[in-house]
Amino acid sequence: MATFSANQGGTFTPVAHATNANNLVLSADTAGDVGAMKMISWGGRGTTSTGYRTRWGRATTNGTTPAALTSGNSNSSAASTCSANTYTTPAVLAADPTALFAIDWNLVGGGGVIILPIGGEWFVVGTAAPYAMIACGNIAGADANLSSYGIVWSE
């Protein structure tokens, strides 16, 4: 299996929203595509204490009009069938606190990494919502270029 990674940060402005997942999305858009989320990450480099609430979950409504994020690859001869994207119309998550994982954190140096256990990965499967996308969005916290969000998946 090849492993792929993507990160949303640097020149990125997240927007806090009750249900829109506008940070990034792992998508399996075509029937037969399968990906396994291996790792998620979040972090901040702000200088003002700001509370964030970030969550990852299955999209109840898939996003439309994707913009691909640059992804890394552990095997240069393997091409990913899944993709990391943002969407013009964001994917929608169920209302908080429903999530695969959610965390409250602080933009001043806050952050972390969760490596999902073998056999406990989150799968995306090329089909309709809620299985085709795992999305990340903020319930609270918005900034200009001060936070980042990352994923690693395998296929």
Residue 29: pLDDT over 90: no
Is this model's pTM higher than 0.75 or not?
yes
Higher pLDDT, 120 or 11: 120
Residue 138 phi, psi dihedral angles, 5° rounding? -105, 130
CA distances to 62, 92, 152 from 83, rounded to whole Å, are: 14, 17, 11
Q: What is the pLDDT of residues 132-154, one digit of tens each?
A: 999 999 999 999 999 999 999 99
With a cut of 90, say whether residue 92 has pLDDT above it. yes
In the chain, pLDDT over 70 holds for what percent of residues? Answer: 100
Total of domains in the chain: 1
Q: Which domain holds residue 48?
A: 3-154
pLDDT of residue 127: 84
pLDDT digits (tens, 9 = 90+) for 101-126: 999 999 998 999 999 999 999 999 99
